[in-house]
Amino acid sequence: MRRIAALLAGLALVLAGCGSDNDSASSSKPPLTVSAAASLKKAFTEYGSAFAPATVRASFAGSDELAAQIRQGVKPDVFASANTTLPDALYSEGLVEKPVTFAANELVLAVPAGSSISGLDDLAKPGTTIAMGSKSVPVGSYTRKVLAGLPADERQALLANVRSNEPDVAGVVGKVVQGAVDAGFVYRTDVEATGGKLKAISLPADLKPQVAYGVAVVKGAKHPEQAQQFVDGLLDGAGRDALDRAGFLPPPAT
Amino acid sequence: MLRVELQATRASLDVALTVADGECVALAGPSGAGKTTVLQTIAGLFRPERGQVVCDATWLDVERGVDLPPERRRCGYVFQDYALFPRMSAWRNVAYGIRARDRRQRALALLERFGLADRADHRPGELSGGERQRVAVARALARDPAVLLLDEPLSALDPRTRAAAARELTAVLHETGVPTLLVTHAFDEAAALGDRVGVLDGGRIVQLGPPAELSARPASAFVADFTGAVVLTGVAAPGPDGLTAVALDGGGTIVSTDTLSGPVGASLYPWEIVLEPGSAPSSAQNHLAAEVVSITEIGGRARVGLLAGQPLVAEVTVASVRALGLAPGTRVTATWKAAATRLAPR
Amino acid sequence: MSGGRPWFTVLLVAALTLALTFLVLPVVAIFVDVGPRELIASLDDPAATDALKLSLQTSVAAIALILLVGTPASWLLATRAFRGRELLITLVELPLVLPPAVAGIGLLAAVGPRGLLAPLGVSFTLSTAAVVVALTFVAAPFYLRQAQSAFAALDRSWLDASRTLGAGEARTLARVAIPSALPGLTAGLALAWGRALGEFGATLMFAGSFQGVTQTVPLAIYERFATDFTGALGLSAVLVCVSAALLLSVKLAFRAAG
């Protein structure tokens, strides 16, 4: 009986330990929870490990899903979205502080490195397979803006070739890399992150959507000071550098 | 006709047996002696290292590589716990082995023969032990088998049902004329059902013959003990008046009309022993002073356990017990005839 | 067995209450959060009906495959002794403990567009067939495990009796083994079906998400959750009801047969 009690006590300690910081005692650096769009993965992971004031714990998913969580009461410290619509909406709902646009990106057509596809017209050809983001995720809504600019029959033919509406851009990238589809609509930064497996085809200038990323400190965040420092660093500092390295463009002039 | 020979490492079996048409042979022996293995070999559920089974065709010949699967052998097998299919009614169980279109009618006809026509739609779980046994036998006979195999056919029945079931079974067996081999651990069951009884000891059949012969002239002490006799061990040598004297282990001497010498088992039946008070001699040639150890009354008889250098059991009437004032600890003399003492080598 | 010390009984009751609450609360919350009329209205949407139809079709197909192939396979494992049997059983149970994401990766590596079997012309992706493959992979071990232990627990004398009555192994399996093992088999069936209905991760990675083709109910819930929480609740409620109905009907069927 005593042995069982000791075992349970030990187990409880271990579990308690799992909950706290990975590194040294919790008094040194506070944790900072960041919810960020999937396309920010590489840049934010780099920035997070170099961020001095706090230990950054970032989770990446479709921006729409992260926004929905915040609406349900989940409170990360920082919310970074692949568009400005979602942060603005949350701001008007009183869930986040005033958002700031911190980066721009380019929506491109990604194809495997040796592909013969060279433009949008190839996508309308029968037999071509395409992946894109779902309606509500930023990359998906950007893509649909592009498609809206196409003539109706080309748009129909293209849509007929869509084989998957992924919940986030990482899924789209994955499908193209696996060879499951011939092409996918992703961000330029995602193509660069594949290290040469995929190549990016620029979209016609008149169809290209403006892709601006917005970030906001969440109201009721546990560590608002560090959160603000994180945001500042994205505009000018280690964060900016990480974004540049990943291929993000500076925020569009408003 | 069935002929079986087998040698197997399981239970060190080395058995050869022939069962004639219309005959029932009972193979008796203690648990673990390999009796069920013999049945399984005939049915094709076990393959011995060496052996042959010939019935209406060669079913098994290990040397020549013949080994018919069970479904191609025409065996009727009644398992120890009957193995009736639990989710099928009685008639469906019986009809399971019948392939003809009128399987239901045939199954019902068989059940009728066993007096179970009105129980035909009941599942095994709803039948009594005796009824289940009859369904199992009916099922085994449904396929018109060339040989019938029974594993402890009566042991699962309560004592009251057993006698009636034994009579019924014997009648059915003689009616069908199918060669039958049954195995049992109880000699009285073997004697009741079998035309011949074989005793299995150490993997071999040590004696095979009509039950009366096994009782009257057991080939060994094991057989004698198995047939329910009292067996006293000792050393035999020629004695007075042409009788054989046996010096019993534990003390005492008895005589027998059998001629044998050396280590023997002297066997006699409990009902052949007469108990007399104290140490009063009588005309019987054998007497042993003994002490009463236990008294068990069954029906109107009493089995009295005795100790006289060796244990023995006497079966007397309850009246005798009262008359002699027997109780544990009482000293009596056990007496019996020299002719009732059968000697068998040990 | 009567209760022992009173404090222990209290502990037991507390543990059960905790467990029940934990398990039941999320399910109850689905129905309580939004009124029934709104829930039903949210289902009046082609995306929802497509997802429901697809989930049913693909899970039924997966189950059919599992039953057809899994029953004889588990019979073999249960009744024949051979070297390496224990290892085979463990291998067959492996997907049980595999995280769905790993299952997705594994399926891609094996039968994806660039998988092991792709040069032989065997590959699936982004199609309803791919969904069926994913569901079969994750759900099969649930059935196999139950079926194997159900067959192994059968009284050998029934099987022997069937053989002596002229039935070969195939007939014995069909007429004696399966009916007798039915409770275990249907339990396995219910578990496998429930698992197949709920599969998300492997389906998303291996088959993608496209309305009417690969977007099963769990994938549809995931998509709706971001923009239409009520809609997500609606679909979830339906799935809960379908799963509960499934479990109940399987239990009733088993009780009727037994």
DSSP string, A142-153: HHHHHHHTS-HH
Residues of C in contact with B143 (CB under 8 A): 165-166
Per-residue pLDDT of A81-125, as tens digits, reads 999 999 999 999 999 999 999 999 999 999 999 899 999 989 999
CATH of C36-257, one of 1.10.10.10, 3.40.50.1000, 3.40.50.2300, 1.10.3720.10: 1.10.3720.10
Distance to chain B for C184, nearest Cα, Å: 15
More reliable by pLDDT, B88 or A23: B88
Q: What percent of chain B clears pLDDT 90, i.e. is strictly above it?
A: 32
**Average confidence score pLDDT of chain C:** 87
Taking the C-alpha atoms of residue B152 and residue B80, their distance in angstroms, rounded to an integer, is: 5
**Average confidence score pLDDT of chain B:** 87
DSSP string, B25-42: EEEE--TTSSHHHHHHHH
Does C213 sit within 8 Å of A131, measured CB to CB?
no
- Considering the segment(s) B229-345 as one domain, its CATH architecture is Beta Barrel (2.40)
Closest CA to B87 of C165, C257, C189: C257
DSSP SS3 for C126: coil
Q: Which domains does chain A have, with CATH numbers?
A: 29-104+212-246 (3.40.190.10), 107-202 (3.40.190.10)
Six-digit token string for C48: 């929802």
Q: What percent of chain C clears pLDDT 70, i.e. is strictly above it?
A: 97
Backbone angles phi, psi at B295, to 5 degrees: -130, 125
Kindly report the CATH class assigned to B2-216.
alpha beta
**Mutate which of C5, C127, C131, C223 to disrupt the A interface (most A C-beta within 10 Å)?**
C223
Q: Vertex B226, ends B223 and B229: CA angle to 5°?
A: 95
Residues of B in contact with C164 (CB under 8 A): 43-45, 70-71, 73, 75-77, 140
Taking the C-alpha atoms of residue A35 and residue B144, their distance in angstroms, rounded to an integer, is: 79
Q: Nearest Cβ partner of C210 from A72, A136, A165?
A: A165
Q: How many CB atoms lie within 10 A of CB A1?
A: 5
CA contacts within 13 A on the Cβ side of C49: 5
Per-residue pLDDT of B236-272, as tens digits, reads 898 888 888 888 888 888 888 888 888 888 888 888 8
Each residue's pLDDT tens digit in chain A (254 positions)?
Answer: 667 766 776 676 666 555 444 444 445 788 999 999 999 999 999 999 989 899 999 999 889 989 988 988 888 999 999 999 999 999 999 999 999 999 999 999 999 998 999 999 899 999 999 999 998 899 999 999 999 999 999 999 999 999 999 998 999 999 999 889 999 999 999 999 898 999 999 999 999 998 999 999 999 888 999 999 999 999 998 999 999 999 899 988 75
- Starting at the earlier edge strand, list the strands of the sheet with B274-277: B274-277, B331-336, B286-298, B301-307, B311-317
pTM, to two decimals: 0.77
* ipTM associated with this complex: 0.78
Averaged pLDDT for residues C120-140? 89
CB A101 within 8 A of CB A212: yes
Residues of C in contact with B85 (CB under 8 A): 158, 161-162, 176, 179-180
Cβ contacts below 8 Å, chain A against chain C, sum to 68
Amino acid symbol at C42: S
CB B38 within 8 A of CB B198: no
Taking the C-alpha atoms of residue C117 and residue C123, their distance in angstroms, rounded to an integer, is: 7
Domain ranges of chain B: 2-216, 229-345
Residues of C in contact with B142 (CB under 8 A): 165
Domain ranges of chain C: 36-257
CB A53 within 8 A of CB A226: yes
- Find the helix or strand (DSSP H, E) in which B277 lies: strand B274-277
At C5 the pLDDT is 79
Does A163 sit within 8 Å of C227, measured CB to CB?
no
CB A101 within 8 A of CB A26: no
Closest CA to B338 of B280, B250, B266, B271: B266
